[in-house]
Amino acid sequence: MEKYKNLLEKGCCNFEITDSKILKSLEEISKSEYFEKENWVRLRWSQWGIQFLNNEEALDFVNEYKDLKEPSQVYFQVPINKNDNVHTKTISDEIKNYVSEAYGLKESEIHPPALTLNVYLNGFHIQNHRDGGDGGASRLSAVLIYMNECEGGELVIHGGEETIVPKFGRVVMIDLTKHDIEHAVNLIKGDNPRIVLVSFVNKS
């Protein structure tokens, strides 16, 4: 299908969600407890996951260490229970649809996608990396759905040949079968964090 052409040929594609039912579910998720700051307590710091008692302590840690360490690859991870409600289920199913359409797989061949909300704060960025595809043995695709607009925070792919700007309802798919492309995220500026719904989709 045309919308996945670049995914299969170059390792990454992006498109915007136009289906009103799917957009409605995204909006509902953006109004849910997952978006409440007090639930942002688990930080990903490089390869480490650090759980804090509350958001204030996590932010204290971030601010204290921000100037000491390269401020890269640090963000909040908020796991979303895909079976929580009709909206989380709708989005997980929709991500499964994208992957099944793109790779020509039956729905039964794809593991029901887990969902995580990643929140990237002002002053941070993500350096060039790959997400560790295994040649298609189990990992298929990383699917990102932007949940808001922010200043900076663009996804940089193909060595800067293309940048993708965060916008509510924009989807990015990164191939983890044969391409596993390098990608980076530009410095986040301004008051709005970069909030992305992320799913690594595997074969079942």
- For 110, which DSSP code? B
The answer to whether residue 151 forms part of the interface with Fe ion (CB under 5 A) is: no
Helices 20-30 and 86-103 cross at an angle (nearest 10°) of 130
- Closest contact distance (angstroms) between CB of 183 and Fe ion is 6
Query: Is 119 within 8 Å of 75 (Cβ atoms)?
Result: yes
Distance CA 9, CA 110 (A): 21
CB nearer Fe ion, residue 79 or residue 104 = 79
CB nearer Fe ion, residue 49 or residue 104 = 49
CB nearer Fe ion, residue 131 or residue 162 = 131
Distance CA 11, CA 24 (A): 29
- Closest contact distance (angstroms) between CB of 174 and Fe ion is 7
Three-class secondary structure of residue 139 per DSSP: strand
Distance CA 145, CA 79 (A): 15
CB nearer Fe ion, residue 41 or residue 174 = 174
- Closest contact distance (angstroms) between CB of 131 and Fe ion is 4
Between residue 120 and residue 139, which ones bind Fe ion under the rule CB under 5 A?
131
Distance CA 201, CA 176 (A): 9
- Closest contact distance (angstroms) between CB of 126 and Fe ion is 7
CB nearer Fe ion, residue 55 or residue 186 = 186
Q: Which residue is nearest to Fe ion (CB)?
A: 131
- For 3, which DSSP code? G
**DSSP E strand stretches across 91-138:** 115-120, 126-129
- Closest contact distance (angstroms) between CB of 57 and Fe ion is 27
How many residues line the site for Fe ion (CB under 5 A)?
A: 1
Residues that bind Fe ion (CB under 5 A): 131
